[in-house]
Structure 1
Amino acid sequence: MAKAAPKDMTSKYTTGKFQQIIDKCEGCERMVEVESAKYCSTYTMPEAKWRLGLCNFATHVKHEISVSTLKINPLKASKRAATAGKKK
């Protein structure tokens, strides 16, 4: 749901500096509605924020953090541990 911009801020969005939001921005809390057009209150070009994946300003998208585990060969690990003690 877009909130209406204050009257003193409407010129900021209507001068052409800010571009309208794209469909991926729908549902974000940072949307501002000015004269029946929706703009991002944080970023001037919302399309550019979505080019490489998720927008880091998006409040409606949950970012997933993936943790990968590294497989270690137990035989090599035991040999490394044994030689590490001898090098002193």
Structure 2
Amino acid sequence: MAKAAPQQEDTSKYTSGQFQTIIDQCEGCGRIVTAGADKFCRTYAVPAAKWRQGLCNFATHAKPEIVAAAAKINPLKASKRAAAKKKK
């Protein structure tokens, strides 16, 4: 089996200029790599672009809010169902 590459080589691709540093919304994510004094996203080269449309889909620290809309109930059908349950 191949051995894992040393950590020094792994961080060199982040400091070469291909990857941009993370933004404030990325703080706390599990995909952050520290190279020198800067922090980079391991998954995406331009983290600001992922947050531009809303929540980053790679974020491990933030989950999307799911809003469940209350279903509209037809009062006529509801009364018929209630009457049917009372008969049984």
Structures share fold, TM-score greater than 0.5 = yes
Residue correspondence of structure 1 range 45-56 to structure 2 within 5 A: 45-56=46-57
Number of the residue aligned with 1:84: none
Cα distance in structure 2, aligned partners of 1:54 and 1:24: 9
Aligned-pair identity in percent equals 60
Give the total of aligned pairs.
Answer: 74
Instruction: Tell me the CA shift for residue 60 of structure 1.
Output: 1.2
**What is the match of residue 20 of structure 2?**
19
Structure 1: which 5+ runs fail to align? 77-88
Give the Å deviation of 1:74. 3.7
Q: Please report the TM-score for the alignment, with normalisation by the length of structure 2.
A: 0.71
Output the CA distance in 1 between the equivalents of 2:68 and 2:58: 23
Given residue 57 of structure 1, which amino acid in structure 2 is its aligned partner?
Answer: F
User: How far apart are residue 75 of structure 1 and its match?
Assistant: 4.2
1:33 partner SS: strand
Structure 2 gaps, min length 5: 1-5, 78-88
Match of 2:63 in 1: 62
Instruction: Give deviations 1:31-85, integer Å, cap 9, x for gaps.
Output: 0000110000011100001001111111111222111133143448xxxxxxxxx
Q: TM-score, normalised by structure 1?
A: 0.71
> Whole-Å Cα distance in 2 between the matches of residues 60 and 75 of structure 1?
45
Q: Which runs of 4+ in 1 moved over 6 A?
A: none
